[in-house]
Amino acid sequence: MQNSFTSKIRTSSVRKYLPFFLCSILVIGACSKFRVDDYNPYLYGRVKLGKDLKELQVSIVNRVPTNVPNQVAVASGVIYVPDFEQSLIKAFNSDGDLKFVIGSSKEKQDKVKTYNIKLGRIGLVTVSDGDDIYVQSRVSREDAKSDKVAENIYTKKSGEFRTEAEEAVPSVILKINDSGKLSQTIYADGVGGSIPFGYVERMEAGNNDLLFVFHRQNGAMRLSIFDEAGKLKQKVEGSDYKDSLNQGEAYTWYVDSFISHPDGEYVLGSFSFYETKSGRFKNRKILKYELKDKRITPIKEIQDPSETLYWVLNNDNFFIWETEVEEGNSIRLQVHDEDGNHVNNIRLNYPPPRGLWRETWMDTNDEIYSMKIRSGYLEIHKWK
């Protein structure tokens, strides 16, 4: 009898506290989903700033280096640095030793390997996994008609900064193979085309020798996807999403960005919605556009205007960039799965002073890089 009575008490206690135990497990599980992985930078390589051909030649204005790139391309242990002053691409190893130069150098040095290719004013540079180099080469206005929409100087990523907006200089994209030979000249309508690019905001080499270019065409932003042969494979514009974005006349939407999965199977489009009358920000929506069957699926809705779509990873997760104002020296990458669920966070801790750090970018291998200028060197840091 006593054992039976004791057993009933224990069973009653278990039933009483079981809900609390299960709730605790759920809370702990939810918290683990939103943990923060702290990443810190380590020095990957650095390039000396100077006046010699074997250095990155820049202008010094009021003791400040100008015409320095915001980001560079890194592939197969080589750092490809655009030298805007000399209109050259300089390839350095991680120790800062010059391996070779692409372009028409005014200075001749017997010990410097040079691939003599005529480049215009250099813009963006990216390198594929097969070490093919893509260079945005700006041409003169006499050679091509331009898209007459003013550039937004605050979104420029070509390494040049001006205090006034100006009309975008038309450009083409030159593909240089791993032997240092010009293999393709890519226009906005592909190899063999005649329409130059106007303003180019982003250019990335994807998997399977794809090239993604986010640029303005006819006044609207577009993502153009080029295949291995340099032909225009597909293009994505805001009009492709319009049936999924229509919310009547009360709200107006704008394109933030289009970012493709590295394999080119789908594109995430980010759109900002504003109240038509007041111009007040309402929200930001991310939609998935599957290129093969042209199916559109809503993925994420963002209420904070400071949170922006940043990158699509090979495993179908994507990053939302969030600046952490309180700390000042860090940013947070919110990790979302392919269904838009917030599953993790990555914090990038920038050692102060924060003002030395320039742009942070990613490559096709999902590696994160940042750059800063310190003590006469351009430093490339990798995050782990």
- Encode pLDDT of 36-82 as tens digits: 999 999 999 999 999 899 999 988 888 888 889 999 999 999 999 99
Residue 298 covered by a domain: yes
Would the pLDDT of 161 be above 70?
Answer: no
Higher pLDDT, 5 or 49: 49
Report the percent of the chain where pLDDT is more than 90.
Answer: 72
**33: pLDDT strictly greater than 60:** no
Q: What is the domain extent for residue 200?
A: 35-142+168-383
Task: Write down the mean pLDDT value for the chain.
Answer: 86
Higher-confidence position of 168 and 134: 134
* Cα-based torsion angle of the residue sequence 289, 267, 265, 78 in order, rounded to the nearest 10 degrees: 180
Angle (CA) 171-179-378 rounded to 5° is 65
What whole-number distance in Å separates Cα of residue 45 and Cα of residue 260?
A: 28
Identify the pLDDT of residue 196. 96
Residue 161 lies in a domain: no
- Predicted pLDDT at 76: 93
* Tokens describing residue 379: 């430093």
Cα radius of gyration rounded to whole Å, the chain: 25
Query: CA-to-CA distance for 253 and 271, rounded, in angstroms?
Result: 6
User: Range with the lowest mean pLDDT among 17-26, 30-39, 170-179?
Assistant: 17-26
Tokens of 264: 């080119």
pLDDT of residue 82: 96
Give the mean model confidence (pLDDT) for residues 238-267. Answer: 94
H/E element, 21: helix 2-33
For residues 76 and 78, give the distance between their C-alpha atoms in angstroms, rounded to a whole number. Answer: 6
Q: Using 50, 70 and 90 to split pLDDT, how confident is the model at 354? A: confident
Q: Is 173 or 11 the better-scoring residue by pLDDT?
A: 173
The per-residue pLDDT for 122 is 95
Report how far apart, in Å, the C-alpha atoms of 174 and of each of 121, 136, 146, 349, 377 are. Answer: 12, 6, 18, 36, 28
Number of domains the chain contains: 1
Mean pLDDT of 15-37: 54
Within-domain flag for 149: no
Exposure on the CB side of residue 323, measured as CA atoms within 13 A? 8
Lowest-pLDDT range of 19-28, 46-55, 371-380: 19-28
Confidence (pTM):
0.85
* Mean per-residue pLDDT, 324-333: 79
Give the span between the Cα atoms of 113 and 91, in whole angstroms: 10
Q: What is the CATH number of the domain that holds 207?
A: 2.120.10.30
- How many C-beta atoms surround the C-beta of residue 118 within 10 A? 10
Q: Between the CA atoms of 313, 318, 323 and 327, what dihedral angle is there, to the nearest 10 degrees?
A: -80
| 30 in a structural domain | no
Confidence (pLDDT) at 328: 67
DSSP reduced 3-state for 26: helix
pLDDT tens string 96-155? 999 999 999 877 767 889 999 999 999 999 999 899 999 999 976 544 443 444 444 434
pLDDT score for 66: 86
Predicted confidence at residue 63, as pLDDT, reads 80
**pLDDT at residue number 35:** 86
Classify residue 151: in a domain, yes or no: no
Q: Give the pLDDT score at 1.
A: 47
- Is residue 381 over pLDDT 80? yes
- Residue 268's pLDDT is what? 98
More reliable by pLDDT, 176 or 164: 176
Check if the beta carbon of residue 201 is closer than 8 Å to that of residue 193.
no
Adjacent-strand bridge partners of 78: 75
Residue 291 inside a domain? The answer is yes
Name the band, by pLDDT with cuts 50, 70 and 90, for residue 326: low
In this structure, is residue 7 part of a structural domain? no
**Residue pointed to by tokens 């009009």:** 239
- State the maximum Cα–Cα separation within the chain, in Å, rounded to a whole number: 103
Question: Residue 44: inside a domain, yes or no?
Answer: yes
